[in-house]
Amino acid sequence: MKLPLVVPPLIALALAAPALADEVNVYSLRQPELIQPLLDSFTAETGIAVNIAFVDKGMVERLVAEGSRSPADLVLTVDIARLAQVVEAGVTQPVTSAVLEANIPAEFRDPGKQWFGLTSRARIVYASRERVADGEVTTYEDLADPKWQGRICTRPGTHDYNLGLMAAMILHHGEAAARDWAAGLKANLAKKPEGSDRAQVKSIWAGECDISLGNTYYMGEMLADPEQAEWAGSVRIVYPAFEDGGTHVNVSGVAMTKAAPNRAAALKLMEFLSSDEAQEIYAGLNHEFPVKPGVARSDLVESWGAFRPDTVNLMELAGRRPAALRLMEEVNFDG
């Protein structure tokens, strides 16, 4: 089997070879270097090798094409929409584990046991330290208020992260109100939606806008980059909430493939990823929030403050994604 060129030759060879009892093969949407320390810890503890292939595009299509011949045991991906997509494609299998059910709260795992959340992240507002006062941003609904006209930046509305927020808006207020909100948000944009969440923070630093939508972990990524640290220093994190709820959160998660040739070893890795040790490492490496109760956040993430997560059902959120996309297109958000 030919794997992407980004996979080191030894890993490609391992994935192409017949399955061994002491290995796990992982397709990951996350860069291998972001989680390698975690996998090294698992291997040191269990003796089970982990081969990881970075699949940033077409993961579902690849698994479907490979079918029962797929070497992948697990998929690691981000965003509830992507987790739902692998389930809907029929390329995963249910996993029954008392360990996973004890470690991962019900709101962060699939009722059908097809996927399990590992970390969570919040979609928040990055606000200019110079031009936005404390307490000036409180709710997501407020972002459609004309007082923000010409002051907001965001990546495209059709991106998964913004569609997740729009889906939550639909769950809270219905399609008609969500459509009005999207139209109001668009009217307040300082420029055409484009680029990444970090690019929006750069725009705040450059004075092009005053607030932007973004995921929390990008603050950690920017602070680790000498060039981007100055952008990060120009903003602070604000946790808006829905008027009748909390701050919008999403997950990264893991699922076992239907073809998994190393199921026992793969289950051990899944259970390890839900442990105190792994949760602390994984969330810390990615600047996210552990999902297991009682596991401490990293000092950096803790410094961003506390918030009350929204409690909408994540699978219901994924189910509203098509409507969210349709409404974003109706208001021509990215046009």
β strands within 129-248, DSSP E:
152-153, 211-215, 235-238
Strand partners, 30: none
State residue 33's pLDDT score. Answer: 78
Determine contact, residues 138/120, Cβ cutoff 8 Å.
no
Residue-range domains of the chain with CATH: 9-120+249-302 (3.40.190.10), 122-247+307-330 (3.40.190.10)
Distances in Å between the Cα of 223 and the Cα atoms of 16, 62, 235, 281, 334 are: 38, 34, 11, 18, 29
Report helix angle 160-173 to 175-187, nearest 10. 130
Distances in Å between the Cα of 88 and the Cα atoms of 95, 114, 138 are: 16, 10, 36
- Residue 327 phi/psi, 5-degree rounding, is -70, -40
**Model pTM score:** 0.88
State the chain's maximal CA–CA distance in angstroms.
Answer: 61
Mean pLDDT by 10 residues, the chain (335 residues): 38 42 89 84 96 92 96 95 94 98 96 96 98 97 98 97 97 98 98 98 98 97 97 98 97 97 98 96 93 96 96 93 98 97
The rounded distance, in Å, linking the Cα atoms of 327 and 176 is 9
State residue 16's pLDDT score. Answer: 43
- Cα angle: 319, vertex 322, 326; to 5 degrees: 145
